[in-house]
Amino acid sequence: MIKTDILIIGAGPTGLFTVFEAGLLKMRCHIIDALAQPGGQLAELYPKKPIYDIPGFPEIDAGELVDNLMKQIEPFQPGFTLGERAETLEKQEDGSFIVTTNKGTKHHAPIVAIAGGLGSFEPRKPKLENLSFYEDKGVEYMVKDPEKFAGKDIVIGGGGDSALDWTIYLAEKAKSLTLIHRRNEFRGALDSVQKVQELKDAGKVELITPAEVVALHGEDRLEKITINRNDGDVFQKSLDYFIPLFGLSPKLGPLADWGLEIERNAIKVDNTLDYQTNIPGVFAIGDINTYPGKLKLILCGFHEATLMCQSAYQIINPGKRYVLKYTTVGGVKGFDGSLKEAPRAVVKAFD
């Protein structure tokens, strides 16, 4: 069981900055995120794109903002459960919560801060009959354990970065690897495209384009697929694994069943005070919440995280006094023993 003061769900900019504000109030944080790396949308969707409305940064790339936030919160030693989706929320008798992920990891905290953005990113699934029957029986949406693909006949579908990257990675391990895409053009980093071209020239990868997988076959597990070439050619192909990589799309997912008040795919919160939800001790901050006048902006998420931490402090330390202190005055004291503070002014009389 992982124990912490504030359990944050979502490692996007709002979730990350919460660690900083909580740390100033001596509260420790742990973050759960369904993606394998911190940063949320910024890291997953647009790491190389600029953002222009972060106060004090005329222009900053999304990925760089994430790097900066990670650096800013480092002294507060946040814990991370990455690549796992928060599945259930159970309220305990003492008012604290246990949050369990889809992989069974349990987290215990008096405060839960949902900073889930658009929700958790789930694979986009092709529209194929019997698709769910073949899931985990030959159809995989993620390459979790590359070894299981060794010596197998594999077909990857898709034309983006992840389709290219896994084609490159698995081409060496697989018995055969076929990449099927609906267009002749692939959208990815230049060196990935070149590498796939080399693998194709070396006979290690077969490209079928423009084409689509239109049907799945097999008695107990996937054995064959039907491929429809745009030129009208329809044929079947035997295989062990079909890996459709059509990107990720965000879903509110299990959060929707936690008993929270939901309005238009967002969690309703009390914006007059602290962004608490209808469940006391559970807060929702950033893009995932809604209230009159809500704006889905990173800078608003930062503000919401800051106010939320004040309320969380009151819940964790009932009756304990605290007044807001400027970091310039009080410095930043990390849980790792580090101390950042403003240099002292020199007081000296001139001769």
Alpha helix (H) residue ranges in 79-236: 131-134, 161-171, 190-201
Nearest to 148 by CA among 240, 35, 36: 240
Nearer to other proteins, 64 or 74 (CB): 64
Nearer to other proteins, 172 or 261 (CB): 261
Cβ neighbours around 335 below 10 Å, total: 12
SS3 165: helix
Nearer to other proteins, 88 or 209 (CB): 209
Closest contact distance (angstroms) between CB of 193 and other proteins is: 12
Nearer to other proteins, 31 or 118 (CB): 118
The length of the chain is: 351
Which amino acid, 223? E
Alpha helix (H) residue ranges in 236-317: 298-316
Nearer to other proteins, 45 or 98 (CB): 45
Distance CA 232, CA 300 (A): 52
Closest contact distance (angstroms) between CB of 246 and other proteins is: 5
Closest contact distance (angstroms) between CB of 163 and other proteins is: 10
Distance CA 180, CA 167 (A): 11
| Gyration radius (Cα) of the chain, Å | 24
Strand partners, 248: 123
Nearer to other proteins, 69 or 298 (CB): 298
Residue with tokens 């997953």: 44
Alpha helix (H) residue ranges in the chain: 13-24, 41-44, 62-73, 131-134, 161-171, 190-201, 298-316, 327-330
Distance CA 9, CA 30 (A): 8
Nearest to 145 by CA among 225, 39, 243: 243
Closest contact distance (angstroms) between CB of 54 and other proteins is: 15
Closest contact distance (angstroms) between CB of 3 and other proteins is: 33
Closest contact distance (angstroms) between CB of 120 and other proteins is: 13
Nearer to other proteins, 83 or 123 (CB): 123
Which residue ranges make up the site for other proteins (CB under 8 A)? 41, 45-46, 49, 118-119, 124, 126-127, 158-160, 182-183, 185, 187, 246-247, 249-250, 252, 264-266, 290
Residue 61: CA count within 13 A, CB half-sphere: 10
b/e per residue 297-322 (b: at least 16 CB within 10 A): ebebbbebbbbbbebbbebbeeeeee
Closest contact distance (angstroms) between CB of 214 and other proteins is: 13
Nearer to other proteins, 175 or 183 (CB): 183
Nearer to other proteins, 48 or 321 (CB): 48
Closest contact distance (angstroms) between CB of 166 and other proteins is: 15
